[in-house]
Amino acid sequence: CKLPDAKFIQHPLLIVIIIIIIITTISIIITLIIIIIIIIILITLIIIIIIIIIIVTIFVIATINLIIVIIITIVVIVIIITIIIVVIITIITIIVVVVVVFIIIIIIIIIPTVTVLIIIST
């Protein structure tokens, strides 16, 4: 009776390990994809900001007016700061969501398998 029991116990554990590995790889891939997307967005935003700054400088050279220059620079700075804050918040939320989902999945997988193993051992 002991041999089939041992074999039966080995299978769910293997399945759990495989599932955990699959979940971790998937979560890592998803996080990497999200990070890449965020980096691309940041790069595009930086390019847009540079273009805006170039346009502003051209505008400044064309019409030498300090008040307009100051207003435009303040607006650009505010936009940059808000974009950075939004990006940071999104990154944090994404990381938190991924971690929470991963923990929930692990709990969902481990608890039933542990109970099954306890039932088998008793």
pLDDT at res. 6: 54
pLDDT at res. 82: 86
pLDDT at res. 55: 82
| 75 closest CA partner among 100, 56, 59, 94 | 56
pLDDT at res. 5: 54
Q: What is the pLDDT along the chain (122 residues), one digit of tens a residue?
A: 455 555 555 566 677 777 778 877 887 787 788 778 878 888 888 888 888 878 877 777 766 677 777 787 788 888 888 888 888 888 788 778 888 887 887 777 777 777 777 777 76
Domain residue ranges of the chain, discontinuous segments joined by +: 2-117
d(CA 8, CA 95): 37
pLDDT at res. 10: 59
pLDDT at res. 8: 54
d(CA 97, CA 103): 10
